Amino acid sequence: MKNIGLSELARRIGEPSISWLMKLTLERPEVISLAAGFTDNESLPVEDTRELLDEILGSKKSGRTALQYGTSMGDPILRELTALHLQFEDTGRSPKRIADAYTPGRMVVTNGSQQLLYLIAEALCDPGDIILLEDPTYFVFLGITALRGVRCRGIRMMPDGIDLEHLERVLDELARSGDLRRIKFLYLVSYFQNPSGVTTRFEKKLAALELLRRYERKAGHPIYLLEDAAYRELRFAGESVPSALAAPGGAERVIYTGTYSKPFASGSRVGFGLMPEELSKTVLRLKGNHDFGTSNLLQQLTARALHSGKYARHVAVLRKRYARKSVVMRDAIREHFPDDVDWSEAEGGLYIWARLPRRMKSGMKSRLFQRALAHDVVYVPGELCYAEDAARPRPNHEMRLSFGGAVETALRQGIERLGKAIHET
């Protein structure tokens, strides 16, 4: 390629594999996408949003506030409502006062939680630094680590979250190689994980925090726990699990990120992060340089949705809807997939993770993927969800199947087609 003057960072960016998948589904509308992380289209809160915006813009006073610039930190009412909501979710009761870990002064409103992930990586990571993350993990986050030149270490997953013994082994290894001071944080997608669907048990969060603490002295700085709770609101089965913010000392070590995109209006792209105060100052200044603040109009919309109760009612509807769609996908998998494909029922979120027998490859260049394409269906190949990590080969026999975007008939048909492709491989 000719030299167009790119920075080192820019030269590290590869074309995201997923963009090829997205282009494909746009160009071939007959293809059923079980790959896209889109939210359910039919239940998008069109009427709620219209009413809320009508209220905001129906008065000159609130209308002008919504259409004027805000602050980099975000709307104070939205931050307070979010803090109250989170603390309620974590403790199960309406708080009399907001506890330290949840104070709105430690919160930054962002353009979806994706922006918060970017800001955190930017604030903490130099090229050569190390991030610990789940094996598998959220693949767009892997794009961020790549462009920042960060090294990743994958931690094995169990049905209730990361394998703590493996985490300890990796930490020990890094201590021996003198790399501890390069570790910045452990990244967990803690609820209905993208892509595996796993929810991390609260006790595991506590144990992970304690373990990280033990290695901090040698690291010379905090080793944070970055908890990405993007799917938390989308629970439709099982018990609720508190976030790591509720852990003793959570206020000092946990960076928590959540979003209103997935549980409410995806097109509004409002997310947030809570983090230790010192770090929040840096993130806030970075955000000031990125865009000096998320759209005030969207923040007012979100705040009013929360306050009016429309948000809570919508989430209740959405949970039923995704519960139903997950059952449709589950039943189709039972009917059409061979018995040696391993998968678990979803308790929330948007995904079912299917493991083929190890001999059966699922990657973009695999025969299975080609057969699936020939049958007009696509999925996210598991290999895209694993970090580059010299300590293990990259697994290549899994599939992320999304029941979020497609309608029920498409879900059924998509799984049927995929079943055919598997049988033919």
Please identify, using beta-carbon distances, which residue of 257 and 366 lies nearer to its own copies: 257
- Region near its own copies per CB under 8 A, out of 114-122, 237-245, 325-333, 361-369: 114-122
Rounded to the nearest whole angstrom, what is the least distance from the CB of residue 270 to its own copies in the complex? 8
Q: Please count the CA atoms within 13 angstroms of the CA of 380 that sit on its side-chain side.
A: 29
Q: State which amino acid sits at residue 33.
A: S
Distance CA 29, CA 27 (A): 6
Considering only residues 33, 82, 103, 114, which one is a binding residue for its own copies as defined by CB under 8 A?
A: 114
Angle 112-124/139-147 helices, nearest 10 degrees?
30
Rounded to the nearest whole angstrom, what is the least distance from the CB of residue 80 to its own copies in the complex? 17
Q: Give the DSSP per-residue string, 96-125.
A: SS--GGG-GGGEEEEEHHHHHHHHHHHHH-
Using CB under 8 A as the binding criterion, the count of chain residues that bind its own copies stands at 84
Please identify, using beta-carbon distances, which residue of 80 and 163 lies nearer to its own copies: 80
Rounded to the nearest whole angstrom, what is the least distance from the CB of residue 108 to its own copies in the complex? 14
Report 364-383 residues binding its own copies (CB under 8 A): none
- Region near its own copies per CB under 8 A, out of 77-85, 294-302, 323-331, 356-364: 294-302
Structure tokens at 266: 């995806």
Structure tokens at 14: 């590869």
Distance CA 237, CA 124 (A): 36
Rounded to the nearest whole angstrom, what is the least distance from the CB of residue 125 to its own copies in the complex? 5
Closest by CA to 425, choosing from 341, 352, 333, 351, is 341
57 contacts its own copies (rule: CB under 8 A): yes
Q: Give the DSSP per-residue string, 363-404.
A: STTSHHHHHHHHTTEE-EEGGGGS---TTSPPP-SEEEEE-S
DSSP letter (8 states) at residue 181: G
User: Residue 283 class from Cβ within 10 Å (0-12 exposed, 13-18 middle, 19+ buried)?
Assistant: buried
Please identify, using beta-carbon distances, which residue of 132 and 341 lies nearer to its own copies: 132
Let me know: does 314 contact 320? Beta carbons within 8 Å: no
Report 64-83 residues binding its own copies (CB under 8 A): 64-71
Please identify, using beta-carbon distances, which residue of 87 and 302 lies nearer to its own copies: 302
Let me know: does 99 contact 87? Beta carbons within 8 Å: yes
- Region near its own copies per CB under 8 A, out of 86-94, 290-298, 307-315, 351-359: 290-298
- Region near its own copies per CB under 8 A, out of 98-106, 215-223, 230-238, 392-400: 215-223
Considering only residues 140, 207, 373, 407, which one is a binding residue for its own copies as defined by CB under 8 A?
A: 140
- Region near its own copies per CB under 8 A, out of 55-63, 92-100, 206-214, 411-419: 55-63
Closest by CA to 182, choosing from 229, 156, 140, 148, is 148
Closest by CA to 217, choosing from 251, 154, 171, 250, is 171
Report 302-361 residues binding its own copies (CB under 8 A): none
143 contacts its own copies (rule: CB under 8 A): yes
Q: 369 φ, ψ to 5°?
A: -60, -40
214 contacts its own copies (rule: CB under 8 A): no
Please identify, using beta-carbon distances, which residue of 238 and 249 lies nearer to its own copies: 249
16 contacts its own copies (rule: CB under 8 A): yes
Let me know: does 391 contact 339? Beta carbons within 8 Å: no
Rounded to the nearest whole angstrom, what is the least distance from the CB of residue 16 to its own copies in the complex? 6
* Partners of residue 224 on adjacent β-strands: 185
Considering only residues 28, 91, 100, 126, which one is a binding residue for its own copies as defined by CB under 8 A?
A: 126
50 contacts its own copies (rule: CB under 8 A): yes
Whole-angstrom CA distances from 184 to 137, 159, 262, 271 are 17, 25, 28, 22
189 contacts its own copies (rule: CB under 8 A): no
Report 19-48 residues binding its own copies (CB under 8 A): 19, 22, 37-39, 41-42, 44-47
3 contacts its own copies (rule: CB under 8 A): yes
Report 256-275 residues binding its own copies (CB under 8 A): 261, 265-269
